[in-house]
Structures are given as C-alpha cells and as structure tokens.
Structure 1
Amino acid sequence: MTSMASYQPVLSISKPENKEENQFDIYEAFQRILKDEQMSPPLAAILALTEVIENSNAGTMFELVNALKDGAEILKHRTPNPISLNAGCELFIAFVTLLPHDSANFLDLKRELIRQGEQYAAEALTYRQKIADLAVGFIKDGSVILTHSYSRVVMQTLLLAHKRKRISVFVTEARPRGLGIKTAEALTAAGIPCSVILDVAVAYVMDKVDFVLVGSEAVVESGGLINAVGSNQIAIIAKAANKPFYALAESYKFHRLFPLSQYDLPSHNSKILAFTQALQPDPPGLMGQNPADHSGSADKSQIKMSPGLDPHPPVKITQEQICQNNPNVDYTRPDLISLVFSDVGSLTPEGVSQYLVGMFAG
C-alpha cells in the first residue's frame, strides 16, 4: 500500500470536543463527516477511524488495531450498503498495521497515525480531478456517452470534457433511487445536451452511443465492478453491441472482495427479491363463515356471502415496497469491463487485481 507520509493536507474536518472513549460513537462521526458533499463513504470511514484513534485509550498496537476493527464492524452493521465504506476501513487498518515508525512512545505514534490519516483523506479529494484528466483523453470530439445513476467522478469528467470538446449524454433514470435525474439536471444546467432514458430502454439506445461511462461503489479483486443496480445489464448490452464500457474509480474504492455472483455481495440479504405471501381467499360463499359450522352434507347453496365483502380484495403494490424488495447495487464481471480509470492510471481488470495485491503487501 502506498505510504500516506508524503501527502499534504488540503482540508480540515471540524470535530466536536473530545469525548470519553465510552461516549464516542463512530457511526455518529461517520454521518457528520458525510455531510460534506465532497466526502465519499470510504473517506468518511477513514476519518471516522482516525477519531477512533483520537478517542481510544489503547496502550498497545494490538489494542489499537482491535479498536479500529471494532469500529469498522459497527459501521458495517449500521449501514444498509457497507461495500464502499468497507474498502476505506480495510485500507486504513492495513496502513496502520504496516506503517514503519520510529516514534519515541505510543502516544506519538497515535498522533502520527491521526495526522497521516487526515492528510490521506485530504489528498484523496484530488483524485477525481486526476481521473477526469486521464479519462478525457479517451473522449473524442462529438462523442455520445451513456452514463448510469449519479457519480461525483463521472460528473467531474463530463464537465471537464464539455469544456474541451462537444459531447452529448444519455442518462438512465436509475431506479429505484432515481439518481439519474440528479445527473441529468446538473448536466443540463451546465449546458451539456442530455436526455434521460428509461432503464428498460438501454438496449434501444445503445446503437446511438459511442461508449458507456459509469462510476463505482467498489472495484473488487477480480477486477469486477460493484455499482448502482442496472450497471451489470448495461455492461452486458454494451458487450453485445461491441461498445466500450468504462468505469471510473478512485483507488480507495479498490476492495479485497471476490464475489462470484450477485448473491455474494455484502449488501445482499434474504429480504431482497423475496416473494410475498400470496393471499388465500375463502371459497365462494364462505366469507365470514366458520368452516366447522358446515358439514359435508350441508347445502352450500343456502350459505350466503356477507353483503359488501369482496372474496378477491384488490392488492396495491407501492413504489416503496418495490424499492425495499430490490437491490441498490449489482456486480459486473471483469470480462464486461473495457478499462478502469483511476488515480493510479488506466487499468485493465487484470491490472486492478495486480494493483490490489501490491497495495496490501506493504
């Protein structure tokens, strides 16, 4: 993993007054840091973990690492989709574990870890600009681009491309969260020709686009991509149409995870895509009646239904129910991805795997 020692601070995160360790709430700190719109979950997790160090009474490295792991577990269990923040926690804990140091005492070491964690988060905010500068070189004048949902780094790239070249953008609606609308509104306000398409119209529009450009929740060890649900089917359609599928990902989103299917993702649970229990209406004529009151020899023609009762009541399914029953992210296989643009360069999916090995090898 790249050392954090060379990074220079470019921001400061406001913190509340120090609390006793048993009063410190890492999730509260995480949510407070996320209020900065430029902060992504991995960076917010790193800064929250630096506050764990600041509030910890650990006297040894073993105790400190355990406190960090406990904090990471709290964040994981209290966040509905913990994938990207897991990547940040994983990176910071590996850094703390592998950091060579010559501190005179453990208190000085803790101060150094806090300083470098904050410096890394500050430097990491510049990664989107580096990625945008790199990716714009692959965008030709007059390009028609398809993007999905909302991504800060994709937005920065498209806005930069608009300053230098002529582009137009198709944006998926990106249900269930509908964040594609946010993207389209921002692009339109910037003067970029933009059109919102239904998620189910991706195949319809694919022949019109030059390439697909998406952001990421995480890039995993296989070189595959975890991103807003729908990314996988867009990649499949792009592959069938022989159109490049590019992903943009900051290196702090590289995650030591190796999913083999959608159901291996940490965000998956039994409530996703579950079948609702079908209604079992009473047989005609028995509405409101006790079956035990009628023997097999009873004349069913004499049993009358209660007035005003419908044996088949109407069923309504709300958008909220649909959202709760569907995933927010999905997994895209590495063979569907053309390139991953990152602050460490343009990588093939195989290159991502190699980089991850080196990053966590010290």
Structure 2
Amino acid sequence: MSVPSSPVDSLRRASQFDINGAYRRILADEKISTPLAAILALTELIEQSNAGTMFELVQALHEGAEALRKQYRNSISINAGCELFIAFVTLFPHESASFNDLKIELVKQGREYANEALSYREKIAQQALGFIKDGSVILTHSYSRVVMQALLLAHNQKRISVYVTEARPRGLGLDRVKTQEALATAGIPCTVVLDSAVAYVMDKVDLVLVGSEAVVESGGLINAVGSNQMAIIAKAANKPVYAMAESYKFHRLFPLSQYDLPTHTSNVLSFPRQPARPSVSKSFPSSPIKPTAQRHPSSQATFFSEYQMTPEQIRLNPEVDYTRPDLISLVFSDVGILTPEGVSQYLVGMFAG
C-alpha cells in the first residue's frame, strides 16, 4: 500500500517545474497576451504536478503564481490571469472518477479557454466599430493588440486617422514604433505625438481609444503610464475615452490612487538622498549651444542622444498608472459593452461562481 504524499512533497515536486521558462516560451507567440501566457503556464504546471488532492494542487498553483510575480517589476496582468485561473480551478465541479482524471480535465479546460480567448479581440473590435464614425480622428496610447485590431477593422470600412503617442518609458518609445509601423503598413494615416503634447492635439481628436493591462473592480483602468493624464485631458475637452479589454484582464483590485497599485514602491519617483549635479550622460558644454537651425543634422542627433534620460532615471518612473472610472466612457469587452459600474457587477458575478 502506497503512502500518500504530503503537501510539502507535492509542492517540492511542483517547484521543479520551470514555470518561468514555460511562461516565456508561451509569451513568445505574438498572439498570446500576458494573462493568457500565465494561464497556460499554470495549466502546464497542473499537467506536471503529482498533487493528489485539491488542497495540494491549489497550493502548487499559488506557488507557481508567486514565482511568476517575483520575476517581473510589473506583474499586474500576470496577477489577473493567475487569479482568474486559480478561481476557476477552485470552483470547478469535482465529478471525475479520480483526482488524476480531474487534473486532465482541468488541463483540457485551460487550453480550450486560451484557444477560445484568442477570438476575443475580434469580438471587441466588432463592438467598437459602431462608435467609430467615418472620418474619425483617433488618439491612442502605447501598443495594444485589441486596439490595433479595432483600428484595422475600422480602416477597412471607414476613413480614419490616428495620432500615436510616444508612450515612454516603455522601451523608450518602442511601443510607439510598433503601433506606427503597423498603422502605416495598413495605409492608415498616422502622426506621432509627444507625450507632453496630448493637450495640444486633443481639440483635433474625436475619441480616445486605449487598451489595458487590467480593468479593476472600481471600473477603473490600469494601463501604460500616461493613460491617466490623457483621460483627464479628454474629459476636460469633452471627448470620449473608450477602453478595450478582454475579460481575462478584469482584476479584483480596488486602487484609490496611483500609490495603491502593486507596482508602486518607495523607489518610484523618489528623490536622491544627497543633492547631486544633473544626472545626464555627460556634462553640458560650458559654451552656449548654437541654434538648432545652424547645427548639422547629424550633430543635432548626437546632441540629443547624449543628453537623454539615464537608465537610472527611467527606472525611477512608473510603467503603468491608474485611470479613475469617472474618466472612462465605456469598456469594450468580449462580455459586452460595459460602463465602469458594469465591470464591477461582472467581477462580483465572475468570482462568485
């Protein structure tokens, strides 16, 4: 007669599974978003686990989720996916003949959900289409797969133009490059806007369309830093702000301010302990700088590259911010077009089983 394994033994075996390696491998697929990659990584953990009871399995899943969270400075989207999947496992009816059969069924259900979730962006794009009028000028921020799909769909049927922000500090504007290139390739007129020029351009804009890292329990939005100031300016200019989010990004958080986000630490936007000279790549020249018009283009580019923010300064800045629900007009999701209050109601029902 075999001796039942203890929870400690099961956790030790689960810890041998490289969940971070599985997560990175899954995320390499351009179609897979962060929460889905987390769900699929936890699905593989179940497949590799020797847990013999639901208690052991849930323990192992929590350990795996924590291992994923520790690897990333911004783990909000990972949290959303892990929380959703662990709640699903916990609430899943135990009707299988054996616990091993139950694990097989959970793995099957997890993969089927992820496969189905790949169609969510198309559903959301279809929902947003009626809110984008012919001739619309749209402002978007950072790179979002679902926003990109909505813009491409609208372009196929209507005339649109898009303003794309720099979206710093993410890759020093690489999100902007990615968005701009995708729009230009599709033949959509687009212009890059400085993050500091959002208020300047807002009067030309018909609507703001943004993706999301997570939609929280208040109905507010967590997205690339700069989304909040964009929504504040849009509200002041009486322009609608539409958020787009797959339902697996709905997250049971209730932040009241920027400083309630899990990503906020004491280092974010902190002051140096001792006064120091301006922290730039090199000292400014003592002689006056010649006017830009008199400088050779190549030397101008060299000048700006020499006086960019340092990596240390960039790391002190937040990657995401929180946008209050009163600044968001609607949330387009695969479960419907929701008001921020509707998001709260949906989350209560989703995690209540």
Query: TM-score, normalising length from structure 1?
Result: 0.84
Partner of 2:330: 339
Q: Is the 8 A contact 2:214 2:223 kept in 1?
A: yes
State the match for 1:69 in structure 2.
Answer: 62
Unpaired segments ≥5 residues, structure 1: 1-19, 282-312
Match of 2:260 in 1: 264
Pick which of 211-220 and 55-64 moved more.
55-64
State the match for 1:303 in structure 2: none
Which amino acid in structure 1 is aligned with residue 29 of structure 2? D
Higher helix share: 2
TM-score by length of 2: 0.86
Query: SS state of the match for residue 260, structure 1?
Result: coil
Distance in 2 separating the partners of 1:323 and 1:345:
37
Aligned partner of residue 341 in structure 1, secondary structure: strand
Which residue of structure 1 aligns with residue 97 of structure 2?
A: 104
| Alpha carbons of structure 1 residues 56 and 166: separation in structure 2 relative to 1, 3 Å | same
Per the alignment, do residues 22 and 359 of structure 1 end up closer, same or farther by CA in structure 2, a change over 3 Å counting? closer
> Residue 194 of structure 2 aligns with which residue?
198
Superposition deviation, residue 153 in structure 1: 0.3
SS in 2 for 1:146: strand
Indicate conservation of the 8 Å contact 1:47/1:118, yes or no. Answer: yes
Q: Which has the larger radius of gyration?
A: 1
Deviation at 1:267, TM superposition (A): 1.1
Give the superposition deviation at 1:209.
0.5
For structure 1, which segment, 53-62 or 235-244, has the greater mean C-alpha deviation from structure 2 after superposition?
Answer: 53-62
Name the Cα RMSD after superposition.
1.5
What percent identity do the matched residue pairs reach? 74
3-state SS of paired residue (2:192): strand
Segments of 5+ residues of structure 2 without an aligned counterpart are: 1-12, 285-306
SS at match of 1:144: strand
Q: SS state of the match for residue 33, structure 1?
A: helix
> Are residue 357 (structure 1) and residue 348 (structure 2) matched?
yes
Distance 1:342 1:225 in 2: 13
**Distance in 2 (alpha carbons) for counterparts of 1:279 and 1:248:** 43
The 5 Å alignment of 1:52-91 reads 52-91=45-84
Residue of 196, 210, 213 corresponding to 1:214: 210
Amino acid at match of 1:344: V
8 Å Cα contact 1:181/1:196 also seen in 2: no
Which residue matches 2:241?
245
Deviation at 1:101, TM superposition (A): 3.1
Q: Does 1:254 align with 2:250?
A: yes
Q: Do the aligned partners of 1:225 and 1:334 also contact (CA within 8 Å) in 2?
A: yes
One-letter amino acid of the structure 2 residue matched with residue 39 of structure 1: I
| Counterpart residue identity of residue 93, structure 1 | I
**Matches of 1:185 and 1:29 in 2, distance apart?**
30
Q: Which string of whole-angstrom CA distances, capped at 9 and with x for unpartnered residues, describes residues 9-40 of structure 1?
A: xxxxxxxxxxx645311111111100001111
Q: Verify: 1:141 aligned to 2:163, yes or no.
A: no
Matched, 1:231 2:222: no
Cα displacement (A) at 1:266: 0.8
Change (3 A) 1:51 1:320: same
Q: Provide closer, same or farther for how the CA distance between residues 22 and 231 of structure 1 changes in structure 2, counting only shifts above 3 A.
A: closer
Distance change (3 Å), C-alpha of 1:280 and 1:343 = closer
| More displaced 10-residue stretch of structure 1: 70-79 or 318-327 | 318-327
TM-superposed deviation, 1:232: 0.1
Please report how far the alpha carbon of residue 181 of structure 1 lies from its aligned counterpart in structure 2 after TM superposition: 2.1
SS of 2:139's equivalent in the other structure is strand
Shift of 1:278: 3.3
